[in-house]
Amino acid sequence: MQRIYFDNAATTSLDPSVLEAMMPYLTEKFGNPSSIYSYGRESRLAIENARKSVAKILNAHPAEIFFTSGGTESSNTIITAAIRDLGCKHIISSPIEHHATLHSVEYLHHNDEIKLSFVKVLPSGHIDLEDLEKLLADSEERSLVTLMHANNEIGNLLDLHAVGDLCQKYNAIFHSDTVQTVGHYPFDLRNTPVHFITGAGHKFHGPKGVGILYINENVKIKPYIHGGSQERNMRAGTENLYGIVGFAKALEIATANYEKDSAYIKDLKTYMKEQLQKNFSGLSFNGDVDGRSLYTVLNVSFPKNEKSEMILFNLDINHICVSGGSACTSGVDIGSHVIRAINNNPNQVPVRFSFSKHNTKEEVDAVVEKLKGLV
C-alpha cells in the first residue's frame, strides 16, 4: 500500500527544485565560505545571495538575517541573549509553546533565578491578551515576551501586531517562534513590531538542519555559539552552505506559489474536517479550527476506547503517517502538553493531521475509510 503522509507540521518532503539548486554545492562547489581563493569566494557569494533573497521576501534588511541550524538554535539564542544582553529579568511565555522555547525558559528560570510567568490560554487555544497586558503592567523589571506565531499542534495563530504593540507600550522585548509560518504566510518585518523571529527550512519543503534568525537592526546581542567570525561574528561555525542555498530556494518557491498552494491546502483541511464530522460521532476539534488557525493543521480528538487508544500505532501499520502532538516528543508517551493545557479530557485521544500541497482528497477519503475500522 502506498504511504499517506499527513504529518507535514513535523517535516515536509524536499522539493525537487530545491535539491537541484543545492546539488552544485554538494558536489563541485564545495569551497569553505571563509577561504579567500575563488572556491571560497564562490561559496560566500552563494550565502550572501541567499541572505538577500530571504531578506527581500520577509521585507527585512540582509544584515538582520542570520543562518542557523534551525528553529531550536534560533530560539535558544534569543531567549538567552534577552536575559544576558538586553536586561530582561522576567520572561513571559505560554504553557503551549514548542519545547524549544518552553524548556529554554524553564532552564533559565531554574538556573539563573529569572522570574517566569505563563500567560493564560483561553479555551479556544488563543493567548489571553488581557492577561498578557496585566503581566506586563505588573512587572517591575524588563520583560521578554516569547510567544509562538502559530501553534504547531493545534494551529492557532497569534496576532503579532497586537502582542508587539503591547510589548512596545511596556518596553518589553518580543520574540516569536515563527517556525510554522515562515514559508507559509507573507511577512513584512519592517512593519511588524517584533524584535526576533525564527524559521526552519524543513517546514516548507526545504532541507533539514538549516534555519534563520531575524534580529531587528535596533537590537544588539552577543553570540550564543562562540568560535570563528562566521555570520558577521554572530554565529560561529562553518556555514551549512548547501542548506542555506536550499532554504532560500524553498522560500522563493513557497512565496511564488503562496496564493495557489494555501487555498488548495485550506480546502483539503476543510474537506477532511467535514468528512470526519460526517462519519464519526463524539469527536471534537482542538483549537480555533474555523477561525485564526493555520491552514495546514487539523487537530481532532476521538472518544477513547480500546481501539482508539492504539490509533496512531494502527494507522502506522496501515502506512498512514500522523501524530498525536509535536514530533519533538515522539517516543515519549506523556501525551501532548498543548492539549492538556486547553482540553484536559482523559476520555479523548488527540490526533494531528497536517497537510501539504502534495496531499489529495483521495488520500483524505482513504484515511477516513481506514479510521472507520480503527475507531
- Lowest mean pLDDT across 190-199, 230-239, 318-327: 318-327
The pLDDT of residue 1 is 64
218-276 pLDDT, tens digit per residue, is 999 999 999 999 999 999 999 999 999 999 999 999 999 999 999 999 999 999 999 99
Does domain 4-12+258-374 fall into CATH 3.90.25.10? no
What's the mean pLDDT when you consider all of the chain? 95
Strand-by-strand arrangement of the 297-303 sheet: 284-285, 297-303, 348-354
7-34 pLDDT, tens digit per residue, is 999 999 999 999 999 999 999 999 999 9
Q: Give the start-to-end residue ranges of the domains of the chain.
A: 4-12+258-374, 16-256
Mean pLDDT of 59-85: 98
Cβ-based neighbour number of residue 306 at 10 Å: 6
- Asked if 328 is an active-site residue, the reply is yes
Instruction: Calculate the CA 10 to chain-centre distance.
Output: 9
- Asked if residues 143 and 132 have their Cβ atoms less than 8 Å apart, the reply is no
| Catalytic, out of 88, 167, 321, 328 | 328
Strands 173-176 and 143-146 come out as parallel
Q: What's the CATH code, domain 16-256?
A: 3.40.640.10
